[in-house]
Amino acid sequence: MNLKIESDHLPDYLGEIPPVIRFNTPLIREQIIRIESQASTQTEKAKLAFETARDQISHSFDIQSMIITITAEDTLEKKEGICFAKSHLLASLLRGMGIPAGFCYQRVMRKGTVESGYALHGLNALYLERIGWFRVDPRGNKPGINSQFSTGKEQLAYPIRAEYGEVDYPDVLTAPLSSVIRAMTESADCQALFYNRPDNLYSS
């Protein structure tokens, strides 16, 4: 896919966006120090950050949790979150290590059928020198889902089926969608959030 970069100014993909995207909080700093002690190149650091968000954070829907985490710090502390929270964590880790990171979205069927309706799914894009921009999906693997860190051919969580109304948006945004943050903030619990998620990139 040809990605659509919102800003040509890389520093726009490096800053904090309080309170959601922060990398100077205690747990995020601790995790960054741990990653940097285990990796030397930016690619190795990015891969470890991705694996942290993908593997160390349970997907709240998978474990049928009622808890909603939103910020990177809270997601890392509670070790759970839905796709949006995981993407917030990954972006914070990457930006905290000087790796530009943005926010991407897909429109997927909520329960795998057209009748179940649609919801946005959140993932990330990151920028590495000599590679450029590419997408990764920290959603978390389970039977039928095998998302991997790949600088070549994408290996994301969901195959997008345009014939069923699903959409793979090419946009790489500098900040999380306000409609996503609002849905997460205003939902009473994670069960409510399952249905309250916006269903397209342009929801107000």
Q: Is residue 201 part of a domain?
A: no
CA 60 to chain centre: 14
Instruction: Give the pLDDT score at 203.
Output: 80
Q: Is residue 75 part of a domain?
A: yes
Q: Is residue 185 part of a domain?
A: yes
DSSP assignments along 85-102, one per residue: HHHHHHHHHHHHTT--EE
Q: Distances from the Cα of 61 to the Cαs of 29, 114, 183, in angstroms? A: 27, 19, 15
Q: How many domains does the chain have?
A: 1
Dist CA 153 CA 188 (whole Å): 38
pLDDT tens-digit map of 19-52: 999 999 999 999 999 999 999 999 999 999 999 9
Q: Is residue 35 part of a domain?
A: yes
Report the CATH number that the domain containing residue 188 is assigned in CATH. 3.10.620
Q: For 173, which DSSP code?
A: B
Q: Is residue 204 part of a domain?
A: no
Gap between the terminal Cα atoms of the chain: 26
Q: Is residue 46 part of a domain?
A: yes
The H or E element that residue 193 is part of is helix 190-196
Judge whether residue 131 has pLDDT over 90.
Answer: yes
pLDDT band at 145 (very low <50, low <70, confident <90, very high): very high
Instruction: Give the pLDDT score at 1.
Output: 86
Instruction: Give the pLDDT score at 79.
Output: 98
In this structure, what token pair is assigned to residue 111?
């329960």
Domain extent for 133? 4-196
Q: Is residue 202 part of a domain?
A: no
Relative orientation angle of helices 178-186 and 83-96, to the nearest 10 degrees: 120
pLDDT band at 100 (very low <50, low <70, confident <90, very high): very high
> What is the rounded average pLDDT of the residues 69-93?
98
CA neighbor of 31 nearest in space, from 48, 16, 11: 48
Instruction: Give the pLDDT score at 157.
Output: 97
> What is the rounded average pLDDT of the residues 80-91?
98
> What is the rounded average pLDDT of the residues 110-137?
96
Q: Is residue 26 part of a domain?
A: yes
Under 8 Å between Cβ of 71 and 87: no
